[in-house]
Amino acid sequence: MSEPLVEVRNLKQYFPVKTGFGKTVYLKAVDDISFTVGKGETLGLVGESGCGKTTAGRSLLRLYEPTGGEVIFDGEPVTARNITHMRKQMQMVFQDPYSSLDPRMTVEDIIGEPLDVHHLCANRKERRERILELMSYVGLNAEHARRYAHEFSGGQRQRIGIARALAVNPKFIVCDEPVSALDVSIQAQVINMFEELQEKLGVAYLFIAHDLLVVHHISQRIAVMYLGKIVEIADADELNSHPIHPYTESLLSAVPIPDPEITRARQRIILEGDVPSPLHRPSGCPFRTRCRYATEQCAAECPTLTDRGGDHQVACWNK
C-alpha cells in the first residue's frame, strides 16, 4: 500500500435512543473500526443497508461528531478545532444528487460556493475561470453554468456534486454511494470519470457502495462491514478470489455473473435469519446469529481483525 493519507483508529459513533420511562439505549452505528487509506488510493467500503457505512464516512469527516476514536489526516489529528482548515483537504460526494444540491442556486453558484467560503479566488474573473475548469473536468459545458439543478438529469446532477467537491482541490473524497441513484449506463460514465480524475489529480477515495462489481472495478482494497464492525479487509482481487469471512463469502456468492454455465455451477450461500437490531446486538461476534460456523467462543468474545498473510485481515474465530 502507498503511504497512508487517512488513518482511522478505533472510530465509534453511538446515537442515544430514548426507549420510554426515561431510559436511553445507545445505537452503536459504528463500533470501534480501524482502517487506512493511502495517498492516491481507493478503498472500497461495502456491506448491506444499515451496517454503518455512511455513518462511518460522515463521522470520519466530522459531519457527525464521533463518540470515540481518532482520525489522522496526513499526519495531523482531525479535531473540532482544526476541522475548518481540514475541510479544504477532505470533501464528500453525497448519495442522492436530487437532494444534495440547492434548487435555488445556479450550477455556477453551487460549484463556486466552496471557492467563496475558503477565499480561493482573487476576483470574479478568476472565480469564473475556475468554475468552468471544474465543469470541464466532469464533462459539463460552459452554457450549463447559468442553469438550475432541476434542469439536469441524475447523472449530470451527480457531476455537479463531484465538481463542487473538487473545487477546493482536496486530497481525499468520501464517495457515499455516488452511483446508486443512477441508471446503469450513467453509472459506468461516472465511475470512469472518478478514475480519470484520480489519475489526473492524485486524489484518494473512500468509495462506499452496495455493488461489489463496481467496488471491485474501482478499488485497490476493499473493507467489508457488518452491523457496525469491519469483518474483513484485503486487496480487491484477493478478496474476490479468496474471501475468508463467512459474511464476505455470502456477499460474493450473490454477485450476478453474466455466464450461464458459471452461474449454474456456483453454489449460492443463503444466510439464515434477519440482521439483528443495532439496538439489541448479539453478544460476542455480531454475525454469529447467522453464521454456520458459530461456536460458544463466538458468543463469548468478539473477534478482532488479524492478518492472515498478504495484508489480508479477517475478524473470525473459526475461519
Going from N- to C-terminal start, the domains of the chain cover 4-89+170-314
Residue 28, pLDDT above cutoff 80: yes
Domain topology for 4-89+170-314: Rossmann fold (3.40.50)
Residues 6+ positions from 263 with CB-CB distance below 8 Å: 256, 257
The pLDDT value recorded for residue 18 is 86
The pLDDT value recorded for residue 245 is 93
For the entire predicted model, the pTM comes to 0.90
Mind listing the pLDDT tens digit for each residue in 67-95?
999 999 998 999 888 888 888 899 999 98
> Whole-angstrom Cα distance, residue 315 to residue 305?
4
The pLDDT value recorded for residue 61 is 92
Q: Sheet harboring 229-235: ordered strands across?
A: 90-93, 172-176, 204-209, 42-46, 221-226, 229-235, 313-314, 306-307
